[in-house]
Homo-oligomer: A and B are copies of this chain.
Amino acid sequence: MARPRAFDKDAVIAVIKNVFWEKGFEGTSYTDLIAASGLHKGSLYQAFGDKRALYLRALADYDAMEVEAGVSLLINPDNGNAVERIEALLEAVITAVRNHKDRRGCFLCNAAIDQAPVDPGTEEIVTLGLGRMHHAIEMALSEVDPSRQHKNRIPSRSAPAAKNTASQIMACYFGMRVMAKAGVPLSMLEQARDAIIIQLKG
């Protein structure tokens, strides 16, 4: 019927996500978005709406991709026992800093600090994302796999204890991301990871 769009919307969001992820909402200008996407300002407006709409789509995309990856890492028994999966999650934070000099951190965490307090749309995506993360950790913690119980000595937890510990691990995880962004020595992140794992195994 009409002229078709010359670009793939999802691919553009994926690119733009990286800009907001790295620079935050206020720190990102249309000039940045144009440079990254190769599109014209008018095209961005026509396809997605204003800057805030673009930001929310980018954040939702992060949630669907990266947060979801974390959730499946935590839930899938193929990745080892519950403690090993949680350790892998924490290890990923350290690896990102060590190998890739990644200072972008976690977009959800960045958004929590820079936009959630002033934008309800951001707040909603962030709290839902944190909620799913929390639930995944809780699931992992309460998991009792009878066939592995002996071999790995993971103490099983009552439901309320699992909830408490899940909240604690969430806090540790996001705290580690903040510390990584802050630029603390890697050793401090490793210490935090070790302490958590020792606690879980003990």
B-binding residues in A (CB < 8 A): 24, 26-27, 103-105, 109-110, 112-114, 116-117, 123, 126-127, 130-131, 134, 163-168, 170-179, 181-184, 188-189, 191-192, 194-196, 198-199
Contact = CB atoms under 8 A, between A and B. Distances in A.
B181 A112 contact: yes
B191 A127 contact: no
A164 B179 contact: no
B116 A113 contact: no
A24 B115 CA distance: 10
A114 B113 contact: yes
A195 B168 contact: yes
| Copies of this chain assembled into the complex | 2
Contacts of A173: 171, 175
Contact of A175 (B110, B172, B182, B194): B172
24 contacts: A27-B114, A104-B117, A109-B113, A110-B114, A112-B182, A113-B114, A113-B181, A116-B182, A117-B181, A126-B182, A127-B183, A163-B191, A164-B192, A164-B198, A167-B192, A168-B192, A170-B175, A171-B192, A172-B175, A173-B175, A174-B178, A174-B179, A175-B176, A175-B178
